[in-house]
Amino acid sequence: MIEMIMVVIVLYIAFSIFFPGFSYKNKWSEALLLLNARDLIVTSDRIGKLYDYSFNQGALQDFLINSISNESIISWSDTDGAIKSQIVMACNCTNEQMVNLTRWMSEVNINGRRINAIQCFTNLDSINPCMLSSDVLVIWVENNKDLSIYNKTLREYLKGDGGIVEVADFSGKLDYVQNSTFGLKDGGAWGSPTYDIVRKPTTADSTTYQAYKIYLNGLGGNNTITEFCKYPQTIKKIVPLDEDRNRVLAQVDSDIGFPASCVIFNSTRIAWMADFTDTTFDANHTKMLTSIILAASNKRPSTPSIPSVSIGYMTPYINIKNADMYEVYKFDLGLGYPY
């Protein structure tokens, strides 16, 4: 009897191995994640809260806790393409210039959203921790400083997502970095300008478009600005290296030949602005600098997109806000199971 029982057990095990029973594995748990994420995003958009939830993690988590019944689901989110609510500026500046930047950017609000800017000082000798953590590098050049020796550092920095903003006047020959990185050249003889104007970009994909709309709509700047392009003859007249007017955000109203420029973009992340602080300046000048810094800053997510989860999905959604200015960005909501 014992032998028969053992034979039956062996046969049962053998049959279960070689002829397993039919099983079907569904993916309802994964589908539930996608459906929940879609419903949460659409609901928050319809109640007019998606913009707030995009930049306020506390408000988003409160909404998710009250909306998701499954406590085992974890969540995360990212935004892409929007000005960050906190911008880190690496500043190659004097203490006075850093204090001024802090004051000028202390009360920036875009579409009702507070933008905080924090600074750290950096030299340009190498990519140090300050530069690594920054969203934009501000270089305030004094005494015709030669940036050619820092060309490798600047090129390495631009391989990331951060931008570079330079504030400078030039009394001597422009160096290699001014030509190649910032796209500037000596524009020749000065004319007799009376005031400076802000040039409207020809298309929405222009390199100056974002800074233009931030300055005029987001910060409420004026179309005309008290002169800061025009200087004594010892200061160089600056124009784009390729004389492309679409790269000029601000210029004098009239001049000999190509108009002298106050603000030139070499890409959406690289900009030069004439130093307005060595003459009389007002809020329009500081708003212009602020808008350039915001436009050039990194707008990519700064945190890993997906935490450690067993199963997880991110659901993208394009959102639009148009209170002070037209703002388009991508919001990603992630949901997943930790195990």
Whether residues 178 and 211 share a domain: the answer is yes
| 99 contacts: CB under 8 Å, gap ≥ 6 | none
- Domain annotation covers residue 41: yes
Is there a domain that residue 284 lies in?
A: yes
Residues 117 and 179 in one domain: yes
| 213 within 8 A of 294, measured Cβ to Cβ | no
**Together in a domain, 221 and 331:** no
Q: Are residues 77 and 94 located together in one domain of the fold?
A: no
Contact 229, 250 (CB under 8 A): yes
Is 62 domain-assigned?
Answer: yes
Residues 6 or more apart whose CB falls under 8 angstroms from that of 318 comprise 328, 329, 330, 331
Contact 212, 246 (CB under 8 A): no
Q: What would the two tokens of residue 330 be? A: 């991508």
Q: Are residue 318 and residue 262 in the same domain, yes or no?
A: no
Instruction: Give the helix/strand (H/E) hosting 333.
Output: strand 326-337
| 20: pLDDT strictly greater than 70 | no
Q: What are phi and psi of 329, to 5 degrees?
A: -155, 165
The pairing of beta strand 113-121 with beta strand 86-92: parallel
Do residue 72 and residue 192 come from a single domain?
no
Number of domains in the chain: 2
- Give yes or no: residues 177 and 75 share one domain: no
Task: State the DSSP string of 307-322.
Answer: -S-SEEEEEEEEEEEE
Same domain for 159 and 291: yes
Give pLDDT tens digits for 78-87: 999 999 999 9
d(CA 234, CA 104): 29
Q: What pLDDT score does 101 carry?
A: 95
209: in domain: yes
For 165-216, what is each residue's pLDDT tens digit? Answer: 999 999 889 999 999 999 999 998 887 766 889 999 989 889 999 999 999 9
pLDDT tens-digit map of 88-140: 999 999 999 999 999 999 889 999 999 999 999 999 999 999 999 999 999 99
152 and 189 co-located in one domain: yes
**189 and 276: one domain?**
yes
Instruction: Determine, yes or no, domain membership for 161.
Output: yes
For residue 18, is it within any domain? Answer: no
Tokens representing 252 are: 């004098």
- Specify if 301 maps to a domain: no
Q: Tell me, yes or no, whether 279 and 335 share the same domain.
A: no
CATH number of the structural domain spanning residue 187: 3.40.50
Residue 115 belongs to what H/E stretch? strand 113-121
Domain, as residue range, for 282 = 86-296
The DSSP letter of residue 125 is S
Q: Is residue 143 part of a domain?
A: yes
Buried b (16+ CB within 10 A) or exposed e, 32-66: ebeebbeebbeebbeeeebbebbbeeeebeebbee
Do 322 and 174 share a structural domain? no
